[in-house]
C-alpha cells in the first residue's frame, strides 16, 4: 500500500469515527421553552442508542445574576439531604417548583414508555453558561418516540431567563455496547488523525525525494 493510500485510509477512519460519535450523542431533544407562560410542546424524536438518558430543564446564566438565578432554579443542594438517617435542609435556596407534565410515547404505537410531573426542587448542575434541573434519568431503548410536555400555569419570575428542555445521552453515565464503541472511537479518531498527518508528511517527503 502506498503512503498516499494509507494516508487517505486513515483520514476516512478518523472522519468516520468522529462523525459517528457526534451522531450517536447528538441530543434527541433540545427545544426552547418559555416558563413564564403556559405552553404545550410535542416533538417527534429519535434515540440512536439504548442507554441512560437525562431529561433536563436548562437555564441561560447570561440572563440573570447568579444569586437571582439561584433563587429561581435553586442551589445544587436545594433539596433536603439525608444526614444521620434524617432529612435536613442543606441551607441553599430550593428554587421555584416547575410542575412540568411530560411523557415519552413510542411511535407509531403510542405506548407510554415513561411519564411524570416534575416536582424536584434545587438545581443539579452549574456551568459557565447554564444551570440544569434534572427532571428524569433512566434507561430508554433506541427508536422513534413522541415527546410531549405541558405547563398549565406560567411562572412569571422566569420571564427574563431563556430556558430549554433537553433529552440527552451523557457518555460518562452510559453503559451500552454502543457507548463502549463510542469510547473506542474516541481513542481511535485522534490516533487515526495523527497517523494521517504522519503518513501525509512521509508521502510528501518521498514525492520530493
pLDDT digits (tens, 9 = 90+) for 102-153: 999 999 999 999 999 987 667 788 888 999 988 998 899 989 999 999 999 9
191, part of any domain: no
pLDDT of residue 115: 94
113, part of any domain: yes
pLDDT digits (tens, 9 = 90+) for 20-38: 556 666 789 999 999 999 9
The alpha-helical segments, DSSP class H, found in 26-146 are: 66-73
CA dihedral 174, 177, 182, 184 (to 10 degrees): 120
H or E, element range at 188: helix 177-208
CATH of the domain at 70: 2.60.120.790
Q: Residue 72 sits in which domain range?
A: 27-174
First to last CA, the chain: 19
Give 3-state DSSP helix, strand, coil % of the chain, rounded to 5: 35, 35, 30
Q: How many CB atoms lie within 10 A of CB 139?
A: 11
64, part of any domain: yes
pLDDT of residue 142: 87
67, part of any domain: yes
5, part of any domain: no
142, part of any domain: yes
One-character DSSP codes across 37-51: S-EEEEEEEEE-SSE
Contact by Cβ (8 Å): 109, 145: no
Tally the domains of the chain.
1
99, part of any domain: yes
Average pLDDT, the chain: 77
121, part of any domain: yes
Q: What angle do CA 97, 101, 102 make, to 5 degrees?
A: 130
Amino acid at each position: 500500500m502506498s503512503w498516499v493510500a494509507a494516508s487517505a485510509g486513515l483520514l476516512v477512519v478518523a472522519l468516520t469515527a468522529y462523525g459517528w460519535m457526534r451522531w450517536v450523542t447528538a441530543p434527541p431533544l433540545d427545544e426552547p421553552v418559555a416558563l413564564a407562560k403556559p405552553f404545550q410542546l410535542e416533538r417527534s424524536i429519535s434515540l440512536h442508542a439504548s442507554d441512560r438518558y437525562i431529561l433536563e430543564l436548562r437555564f441561560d446564566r447570561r440572563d440573570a445574576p447568579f444569586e437571582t438565578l439561584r433563587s429561581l432554579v435553586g442551589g445544587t443542594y436545594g433539596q433536603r439531604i439525608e444526614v444521620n438517617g434524617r432529612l435536613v435542609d442543606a441551607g441553599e435556596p430550593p428554587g421555584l417548583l416547575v410542575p412540568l407534565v411530560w411523557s415519552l410515547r413510542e411511535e407509531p404505537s403510542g405506548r407510554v414508555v415513561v411519564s411524570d410531573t416534575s416536582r424536584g426542587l434545587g438545581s443539579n448542575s452549574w456551568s459557565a453558561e447554564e444551570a440544569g434541573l434534572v427532571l428524569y434519568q433512566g434507561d430508554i431503548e433506541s427508536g422513534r418516540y413522541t415527546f410531549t410536555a405541558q405547563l398549565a400555569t406560567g411562572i412569571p419570575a422566569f420571564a427574563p431567563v431563556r430556558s430549554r428542555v433537553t433529552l440527552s445521552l451523557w457518555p460518562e453515565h452510559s453503559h451500552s455496547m454502543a457507548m463502549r464503541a463510542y469510547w473506542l472511537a474516541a481513542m481511535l479518531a485522534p490516533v487515526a488523525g495523527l497517523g494521517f498527518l504522519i503518513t501525509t508528511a512521509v508521502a510528501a517527503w518521498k514525492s520530493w525525494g
